[in-house]
Structure 1
Amino acid sequence: MIDKIAWIHVMDGRILAARSRGKDRFYLPGGKREPGESDVETLVREIREELDVAITPESVVAAGTFEAQAHGHAAGTRVRMTCYTAEYRGTLEASSEIEEVAWLGYADHDRVSAVDKLIFDHLHATGQLA
Protein backbone atom coordinates (compact mmCIF):
# COMPACT_ATOMS: atom_id res chain seq x y z
CA MET A 1 0.00 0.00 0.00
CA ILE A 2 1.31 3.42 -1.01
CA ASP A 3 0.10 6.00 1.50
CA LYS A 4 -0.17 9.54 0.11
CA ILE A 5 -1.49 12.92 1.20
CA ALA A 6 -3.10 15.21 -1.42
CA TRP A 7 -4.44 18.74 -1.73
CA ILE A 8 -7.85 19.26 -3.32
CA HIS A 9 -7.98 22.81 -4.61
CA VAL A 10 -11.06 23.53 -6.73
CA MET A 11 -11.77 26.91 -8.28
CA ASP A 12 -14.55 27.76 -10.72
CA GLY A 13 -15.41 24.08 -11.20
CA ARG A 14 -11.84 23.05 -12.06
CA ILE A 15 -9.25 21.26 -9.92
CA LEU A 16 -5.57 22.05 -9.63
CA ALA A 17 -3.40 19.18 -10.87
CA ALA A 18 0.30 18.68 -11.55
CA ARG A 19 2.31 16.46 -13.85
CA SER A 20 5.78 15.45 -12.69
CA ARG A 21 8.70 15.40 -15.10
CA GLY A 22 8.69 12.23 -17.17
CA LYS A 23 5.15 11.21 -16.16
CA ASP A 24 2.20 10.81 -18.50
CA ARG A 25 -0.60 11.44 -15.99
CA PHE A 26 -1.68 14.38 -13.88
CA TYR A 27 -1.96 13.94 -10.12
CA LEU A 28 -3.39 15.97 -7.30
CA PRO A 29 -0.51 17.84 -5.64
CA GLY A 30 0.91 16.10 -2.59
CA GLY A 31 3.01 13.08 -1.77
CA LYS A 32 4.31 10.61 0.76
CA ARG A 33 4.95 11.52 4.37
CA GLU A 34 8.44 11.62 5.87
CA PRO A 35 9.01 9.55 9.04
CA GLY A 36 7.26 11.17 11.99
CA GLU A 37 5.28 13.70 9.92
CA SER A 38 1.59 14.31 10.49
CA ASP A 39 -0.79 14.59 7.56
CA VAL A 40 -0.81 18.40 7.84
CA GLU A 41 3.00 18.59 8.03
CA THR A 42 3.23 16.37 4.94
CA LEU A 43 0.69 18.50 3.06
CA VAL A 44 2.49 21.75 3.92
CA ARG A 45 5.91 20.38 2.91
CA GLU A 46 4.79 18.66 -0.30
CA ILE A 47 2.80 21.64 -1.59
CA ARG A 48 5.69 24.00 -0.84
CA GLU A 49 8.07 21.64 -2.70
CA GLU A 50 5.78 21.14 -5.71
CA LEU A 51 3.99 24.47 -6.13
CA ASP A 52 6.05 27.00 -4.12
CA VAL A 53 3.11 28.18 -1.98
CA ALA A 54 2.47 28.04 1.77
CA ILE A 55 -0.53 26.04 2.94
CA THR A 56 -2.20 27.72 5.91
CA PRO A 57 -2.14 24.87 8.49
CA GLU A 58 -5.14 26.12 10.48
CA SER A 59 -7.29 26.08 7.30
CA VAL A 60 -6.69 22.38 6.52
CA VAL A 61 -9.93 20.35 6.38
CA ALA A 62 -10.25 16.62 5.69
CA ALA A 63 -11.93 15.94 2.32
CA GLY A 64 -11.93 12.15 2.13
CA THR A 65 -9.76 9.08 1.62
CA PHE A 66 -9.71 7.23 -1.70
CA GLU A 67 -8.04 3.96 -2.71
CA ALA A 68 -7.25 2.41 -6.11
CA GLN A 69 -4.62 0.59 -8.17
CA ALA A 70 -1.35 2.59 -8.17
CA HIS A 71 -0.54 4.02 -11.60
CA GLY A 72 2.66 2.59 -13.09
CA HIS A 73 3.05 -0.10 -10.42
CA ALA A 74 2.60 -3.87 -10.47
CA ALA A 75 -0.95 -5.22 -10.37
CA GLY A 76 -2.17 -5.38 -6.80
CA THR A 77 -0.15 -2.36 -5.65
CA ARG A 78 -2.70 0.03 -4.19
CA VAL A 79 -2.50 3.70 -3.33
CA ARG A 80 -4.47 5.27 -0.50
CA MET A 81 -4.90 9.02 -0.97
CA THR A 82 -5.96 11.02 2.07
CA CYS A 83 -7.19 14.37 0.77
CA TYR A 84 -7.49 17.78 2.33
CA THR A 85 -8.66 21.21 1.29
CA ALA A 86 -6.74 24.24 2.53
CA GLU A 87 -6.10 27.90 1.92
CA TYR A 88 -2.65 29.04 0.81
CA ARG A 89 -0.41 32.08 0.52
CA GLY A 90 1.76 32.84 -2.49
CA THR A 91 1.62 32.42 -6.24
CA LEU A 92 1.14 28.92 -7.63
CA GLU A 93 4.00 27.86 -9.89
CA ALA A 94 5.60 24.58 -10.85
CA SER A 95 8.76 23.62 -8.97
CA SER A 96 11.73 21.84 -10.49
CA GLU A 97 10.08 18.40 -10.09
CA ILE A 98 6.82 19.50 -11.73
CA GLU A 99 6.71 19.81 -15.50
CA GLU A 100 3.18 21.15 -15.84
CA VAL A 101 0.42 22.59 -13.67
CA ALA A 102 -3.14 22.58 -15.01
CA TRP A 103 -6.71 23.34 -13.99
CA LEU A 104 -8.69 20.26 -15.00
CA GLY A 105 -12.41 19.71 -15.36
CA TYR A 106 -14.36 16.48 -15.25
CA ALA A 107 -13.85 16.07 -19.02
CA ASP A 108 -10.12 15.61 -18.25
CA HIS A 109 -10.94 12.45 -16.27
CA ASP A 110 -8.79 10.27 -18.58
CA ARG A 111 -5.67 12.40 -17.99
CA VAL A 112 -5.32 11.42 -14.31
CA SER A 113 -4.40 8.33 -12.29
CA ALA A 114 -6.96 5.74 -11.14
CA VAL A 115 -7.22 7.11 -7.60
CA ASP A 116 -7.58 10.66 -8.93
CA LYS A 117 -10.42 9.42 -11.18
CA LEU A 118 -12.29 8.34 -8.04
CA ILE A 119 -11.75 11.82 -6.59
CA PHE A 120 -12.91 13.45 -9.85
CA ASP A 121 -16.05 11.25 -9.75
CA HIS A 122 -16.74 12.24 -6.14
CA LEU A 123 -16.22 15.97 -6.81
CA HIS A 124 -18.37 15.81 -9.94
CA ALA A 125 -21.17 13.94 -8.14
CA THR A 126 -21.17 16.57 -5.37
CA GLY A 127 -21.30 19.43 -7.87
CA GLN A 128 -17.80 20.75 -7.18
CA LEU A 129 -16.13 19.71 -10.45
CA ALA A 130 -17.62 20.85 -13.75
Structure 2
Amino acid sequence: MTVRTASARYEGLGKAGKGHVSSQSGVLSDTAYGFNTRFGDEKGTNPEELIAAAHASCFTMALSFALAKAGFEQGTLDTKAAVTLDPDGDGFKVTRSALTLQASVPGIDADRFAEIAADAKANCPISKLLDAEITLDHTLS
Protein backbone atom coordinates (compact mmCIF):
# COMPACT_ATOMS: atom_id res chain seq x y z
CA MET A 1 0.00 0.00 0.00
CA THR A 2 1.24 3.48 -0.89
CA VAL A 3 0.27 6.51 1.18
CA ARG A 4 1.19 10.04 0.16
CA THR A 5 0.45 13.13 2.23
CA ALA A 6 -0.11 16.84 1.83
CA SER A 7 -1.11 19.56 4.25
CA ALA A 8 -2.91 22.88 4.04
CA ARG A 9 -3.10 25.84 6.40
CA TYR A 10 -5.51 28.76 6.07
CA GLU A 11 -5.02 31.94 8.09
CA GLY A 12 -7.95 34.32 8.22
CA LEU A 13 -11.37 33.42 6.95
CA GLY A 14 -13.24 33.73 3.67
CA LYS A 15 -11.96 35.97 0.88
CA ALA A 16 -9.52 37.73 3.22
CA GLY A 17 -7.88 34.45 4.25
CA LYS A 18 -4.60 33.22 2.86
CA GLY A 19 -3.69 29.57 2.49
CA HIS A 20 -0.52 27.56 2.00
CA VAL A 21 -0.30 23.98 0.79
CA SER A 22 2.65 21.60 1.07
CA SER A 23 3.26 18.10 -0.25
CA GLN A 24 5.23 15.21 1.23
CA SER A 25 7.76 15.29 -1.62
CA GLY A 26 8.44 19.00 -1.16
CA VAL A 27 7.36 19.85 -4.71
CA LEU A 28 4.76 22.05 -3.06
CA SER A 29 6.24 23.86 -0.07
CA ASP A 30 4.06 26.52 1.52
CA THR A 31 2.63 27.25 -1.94
CA ALA A 32 0.06 30.05 -1.77
CA TYR A 33 -3.61 29.39 -2.41
CA GLY A 34 -6.81 31.22 -1.56
CA PHE A 35 -9.78 33.01 -3.06
CA ASN A 36 -7.72 35.07 -5.52
CA THR A 37 -5.68 32.09 -6.77
CA ARG A 38 -8.87 30.11 -7.23
CA PHE A 39 -11.17 32.72 -8.76
CA GLY A 40 -8.70 35.41 -9.85
CA ASP A 41 -5.23 35.72 -11.29
CA GLU A 42 -3.12 35.92 -8.12
CA LYS A 43 0.05 33.82 -8.22
CA GLY A 44 -0.37 30.47 -6.47
CA THR A 45 -2.37 27.30 -6.97
CA ASN A 46 -5.87 26.04 -6.27
CA PRO A 47 -7.60 22.70 -5.72
CA GLU A 48 -8.95 22.41 -9.27
CA GLU A 49 -5.51 23.01 -10.80
CA LEU A 50 -4.04 20.34 -8.52
CA ILE A 51 -6.83 17.91 -9.47
CA ALA A 52 -6.20 18.64 -13.16
CA ALA A 53 -2.47 17.97 -12.73
CA ALA A 54 -3.19 14.76 -10.83
CA HIS A 55 -5.73 13.54 -13.38
CA ALA A 56 -3.57 14.35 -16.42
CA SER A 57 -0.49 12.68 -14.95
CA CYS A 58 -2.34 9.63 -13.62
CA PHE A 59 -4.21 8.97 -16.86
CA THR A 60 -1.07 9.46 -18.96
CA MET A 61 0.95 7.07 -16.79
CA ALA A 62 -1.86 4.48 -16.85
CA LEU A 63 -2.04 4.72 -20.63
CA SER A 64 1.73 4.43 -20.94
CA PHE A 65 1.78 1.24 -18.89
CA ALA A 66 -1.23 -0.20 -20.76
CA LEU A 67 0.45 0.44 -24.11
CA ALA A 68 3.69 -1.18 -22.89
CA LYS A 69 1.70 -4.20 -21.64
CA ALA A 70 0.09 -4.45 -25.10
CA GLY A 71 3.58 -4.75 -26.62
CA PHE A 72 4.29 -1.21 -27.79
CA GLU A 73 7.77 0.07 -26.99
CA GLN A 74 7.88 3.66 -28.29
CA GLY A 75 5.60 6.64 -28.10
CA THR A 76 4.84 10.06 -26.77
CA LEU A 77 1.72 10.96 -24.80
CA ASP A 78 0.81 14.59 -24.07
CA THR A 79 -2.33 15.11 -21.99
CA LYS A 80 -4.14 18.22 -20.79
CA ALA A 81 -6.89 18.02 -18.16
CA ALA A 82 -9.42 20.83 -17.79
CA VAL A 83 -11.29 20.64 -14.49
CA THR A 84 -14.54 22.62 -14.32
CA LEU A 85 -15.86 24.10 -11.05
CA ASP A 86 -19.52 25.10 -11.22
CA PRO A 87 -21.91 26.67 -8.71
CA ASP A 88 -23.88 24.09 -6.73
CA GLY A 89 -26.51 25.54 -4.42
CA ASP A 90 -24.70 27.70 -1.87
CA GLY A 91 -21.34 26.17 -2.79
CA PHE A 92 -19.45 24.70 -5.71
CA LYS A 93 -18.93 21.32 -7.33
CA VAL A 94 -16.33 19.89 -9.68
CA THR A 95 -18.55 18.84 -12.57
CA ARG A 96 -16.07 17.74 -15.21
CA SER A 97 -12.52 16.75 -15.93
CA ALA A 98 -11.95 16.88 -19.69
CA LEU A 99 -8.84 15.05 -20.86
CA THR A 100 -7.29 16.08 -24.18
CA LEU A 101 -4.59 13.74 -25.44
CA GLN A 102 -2.05 14.11 -28.21
CA ALA A 103 -0.33 10.76 -28.85
CA SER A 104 2.22 9.21 -31.13
CA VAL A 105 2.56 5.42 -30.90
CA PRO A 106 4.26 3.81 -33.89
CA GLY A 107 2.58 0.64 -35.18
CA ILE A 108 -0.78 0.94 -33.38
CA ASP A 109 -4.05 1.19 -35.29
CA ALA A 110 -6.64 3.80 -34.34
CA ASP A 111 -9.24 1.35 -33.00
CA ARG A 112 -6.78 -0.49 -30.73
CA PHE A 113 -5.42 2.82 -29.44
CA ALA A 114 -8.95 4.11 -28.72
CA GLU A 115 -9.74 0.90 -26.80
CA ILE A 116 -6.58 1.08 -24.65
CA ALA A 117 -7.03 4.82 -24.02
CA ALA A 118 -10.67 4.40 -22.99
CA ASP A 119 -9.69 1.69 -20.51
CA ALA A 120 -6.92 3.89 -19.05
CA LYS A 121 -9.38 6.79 -18.72
CA ALA A 122 -11.89 4.62 -16.86
CA ASN A 123 -9.40 2.83 -14.64
CA CYS A 124 -6.64 5.22 -13.62
CA PRO A 125 -6.81 5.77 -9.85
CA ILE A 126 -7.64 9.48 -10.12
CA SER A 127 -10.53 8.80 -12.53
CA LYS A 128 -11.86 6.39 -9.94
CA LEU A 129 -11.32 8.94 -7.16
CA LEU A 130 -13.40 11.55 -8.93
CA ASP A 131 -16.40 9.26 -8.42
CA ALA A 132 -15.50 7.90 -4.98
CA GLU A 133 -16.78 7.96 -1.44
CA ILE A 134 -15.10 10.73 0.53
CA THR A 135 -14.55 10.40 4.25
CA LEU A 136 -13.54 12.98 6.84
CA ASP A 137 -11.81 12.74 10.19
CA HIS A 138 -11.54 16.09 11.93
CA THR A 139 -10.33 17.81 15.06
CA LEU A 140 -11.69 21.17 16.16
CA SER A 141 -9.59 23.27 18.46
- By relative contact order (CA 8 Å, sep 6+), the higher-ranking structure is 1
Which TM-score band applies after superposition, normalised by the shorter structure? under 0.3
Structure with the higher fraction of residues in helix conformation: 2
1 or 2, which has the higher strand percentage? 1
TM superposition score normalised by structure 2: 0.24
TM-score computed with the length of structure 1 as normaliser: 0.25
